[in-house]
Structure 1
């Protein structure tokens, strides 16, 4: 009988190129001959890697190491031992993010989404930021170091589905009372859940992070950045923003299910560069403007229509939360479940200028300026209060994509926002960040915001003409607007 090792090198190479990474690793451990054949075999390892995963961002990585690392990662994620997962977090978690930075994430995102159907993987890898020191269930706890907690928060943001104990929209009964307050404790929903586990809602602790005005400083650019002037993203801030907005949008979607398509419901969806795909225009439209020269040079894909969500506390609640009780600077504020107002806003944006990056910017992408209009999808208090908007998009020194916007009312800039595009340029996930007073008033108001692209198409004509206004963010005009308050 012919032994497999008796085959020619070319034929054996062709056969082994069809196995998966697990089998290749097992095969190389069977005997010295197979180990010698696999070790250092760049072509074989490359073939095995590209059959299972997308091409890495590097042109020619060490394919053998890449296969070995992802096989080890997959083995940990498929393990049923929660403690083993936690002990492996420090080396396994850093392997996940690069899988989502590839140019074409057609295999890696489904690969991760399938593995993170496991609640134990969610608990060990995604629910390990500082937020879970007090929130979450008994199996969710923060990682050992600040760096690992930041990494866990980033993975949670890339995962994209807020980890909270609120019941997802698909489980809400049609006859439920949409105006009833959310319980302080609820049941953690998950497809694999077989028993009820009581936990503390993470959105209460996230809300205390988002509305803590001590975190809005010049060093943090009043946005989701670390308070050291470095422009490094504070992923625990971004995570808190996602949790608060996700909670409020789910409640809003229950009351007004047809205002916008549900977002942040599919794990790792749109969490990689160039993952945005424009919806086709529907209905009767006027002739569309062709892409301009600036649009063709824009690496961020700005021109088009976007949806935006803005949340805010009543100013009296915001002031009471921040200034009525003294809290040591190194301690977080207590969790709150004070209800917030929510605004759903439509944006039309166009590129207006492109400039080279400055000395404090990342050097891979230019600085792109844009202008446009925004209008609220809610009832307007002032038919003449349509808002115009301007802003810039640039790369940070660490390679993240930073968005800055200014909302302009009656020719005067009033609100500003700073945000980070989750997944990189042209990602489908969109931007998460903070809005605040353009004069950087330390007394507020301020709060969370997000926006995501819905179409590359903009009709010719005056943008926003006849549309409703964006309204106000936290001023006296918003008082009494309980129809769109979250519980």
Structure 2
């Protein structure tokens, strides 16, 4: 490689007198932005940075910027393929630039959002396997210091693909909104609750064609629906009295909770099924639910103004679940609907029990299945006195093994058109976590 000076007659920089390997080794101690600036100084510098025959420099820069190694990618194919270090680092640096400068095109916005989603999901995966992720340091800076949260709830788009990406990243980041640090963002977030309630409690959104859950008719995840479900539950959690407001799933920026390393996931239990879980379930009084869906009250039916009535109440219930992996032959009432689309993620059958504040226990059966879009689906049914009564359909947010848990919809196992429905949020806790179940209206 010719690393000569860029302009004839100008003295050659000392770095170009070194062997390429040594010059790249020197650059590897620099910040990626400084390396990018150096590459613009002359043709020789550009060639040294971008036209090398190997990826040594880019691999060193990637590791030096505190990103998780690629073997811990949440996507199996990315773990096996040869790593394009230059592409990976450039994607993240471009996302960082856009977050601090602002996007110039829709393409830039989509690329930035997809990069953030990938980094969050990779971070969730490595946390579930090792208890530590280097990605979180970069994510914290992007969320806390960039324009991301300022813009996240004020951006609208008519592009459906971009709208789905925005909804997905908002679902991932909602629990990172801090009441004091992000007052304006929190205000926008809370303003959306009535719109979210109107969508979540609209019974027309739960049919066989969307598997009675937050899915499109083609089976892909409807992230707009997921976001509305998440909005309702997380807003309700924020209003719980006393310490209940702190009883919530971890966010993608939270460090591993104490003792979590003892419950690291195995490759066999790739979704982290086995263990103790908490589940928030939100619901309306059925008379209110019926009035909202089928009467003209508050300009209805299905008008968000219905929830402005000061007499309106929405209940939030905290339930404990004990889950384990079961053989399909052990399930008495539930049969997995289909096989997983990913050989690396076989369908997991679930057995266990649930217990509410009133002490009533139910048998729980279900499964976790990986969708074609790479998002894990959870289905569980609750059985009382040998009668399946409630069914739940949700998705794991934050990627495979994410501690953020599962968000979805509960309804009856009958799936009649006027059956009640509402949001739930399920997340894993330590087996020795205090049992402080509750119901708040």
Select 2:340's aligned residue among 355, 361, 368: 361
Structure 1 or 2: more helix by fraction: 2
Matching residue of 1:334? 304
Does the 8 A contact of 1:387 with 1:407 survive in 2? Answer: yes
Matching residue of 2:440? 484
Select 1:448's aligned residue among 413, 416, 423: 423
Provide the secondary structure at the position in 1 that maps to 2:403.
coil
Aligned-residue Cα RMSD (Å) equals 3.7
- Pairing of 1:226-305 with structure 2 (within 5 A): 226=216, 228=217, 230-252=218-240, 255-257=241-243, 261-264=246-249, 266-269=251-254, 279=260, 297-305=268-276
Does the 8 A contact of 2:121 with 2:402 survive in 1? Answer: no
Select 1:143's aligned residue among 140, 157, 164: 157
1:401 deviates by 0.7
Provide the secondary structure at the position in 2 that maps to 1:104.
helix
Matching residue of 2:148? 121
Select 1:48's aligned residue among 20, 38, 61: 61
1:441 deviates by 1.6
1:54 deviates by 2.0
Matching residue of 1:352? 326
Report how many residues are paired. Answer: 401
Matching residue of 2:350? 370
1:179-228 CA distance string (max 9 Å, x none):
xxxxxxxxxx55266999788711111111110101001111001111x1
Q: Distance in 2 between matches of 1:437 and 1:319?
A: 15
1:447 deviates by 0.2
Does the 8 A contact of 2:176 with 2:251 survive in 1? Answer: no
Q: Distance in 1 between matches of 2:199 and 2:185?
A: 30
1:420 deviates by 0.5
Gaps of 5+ in 2: 1-10, 128-132, 330-334
Q: Distance in 1 between matches of 2:368 and 2:431?
A: 17
1:39 deviates by 1.4
Select 2:386's aligned residue among 408, 411, 418: 411
Q: 1:418 to 1:76 in 2, by over 3 A?
A: same
Matching residue of 1:421? 396
Does the 8 A contact of 1:352 with 1:370 survive in 2? Answer: yes
Gaps of 5+ in 1: 128-139, 169-188, 282-289, 459-466, 471-482
Deviates more, 1:393-402 or 1:363-372: 363-372
Select 2:33's aligned residue among 22, 32, 57: 22
Q: 1:454 to 1:237 in 2, by over 3 A?
A: same
Matched, 1:71 2:93: yes
1:350 deviates by 1.7
Matching residue of 1:217? 207
Provide the secondary structure at the position in 2 that maps to 1:150.
helix
Does the 8 A contact of 2:190 with 2:235 survive in 1? Answer: no
Deviates more, 1:199-208 or 1:304-313: 199-208
Does the 8 A contact of 2:273 with 2:324 survive in 1? Answer: yes
1:433 deviates by 0.2
Provide the secondary structure at the position in 1 that maps to 2:144.
coil
1:112 deviates by 1.8
1:100 deviates by 2.4
Q: Distance in 1 between matches of 2:437 and 2:89?
A: 53
1:348-398 CA distance string (max 9 Å, x none):
11211169997663233222112211111x3x2xx6x42221111111122
Matching residue of 1:473? none
1:324 deviates by 0.7
Deviates more, 1:7-16 or 1:408-417: 7-16
Provide the secondary structure at the position in 2 that maps to 1:263.
coil
Q: Distance in 2 between matches of 1:433 and 1:195?
A: 24
Matching residue of 1:477? none
Normalising by structure 2, report the TM-score: 0.80
1:466-486 CA distance string (max 9 Å, x none):
x9999xxxxxxxxxxxx711x
Provide the secondary structure at the position in 2 that maps to 1:224.
coil
1:430 deviates by 0.5
Does the 8 A contact of 2:100 with 2:147 survive in 1? Answer: no
Matched, 1:109 2:136: yes
Does the 8 A contact of 1:160 with 1:267 survive in 2? Answer: no
Provide the secondary structure at the position in 2 that maps to 1:389.
strand
Normalising by structure 1, report the TM-score: 0.73
Q: 1:39 to 1:404 in 2, by over 3 A?
A: same
Does the 8 A contact of 2:139 with 2:253 survive in 1? Answer: yes
Q: 1:306 to 1:194 in 2, by over 3 A?
A: closer
Matching residue of 2:280? 309
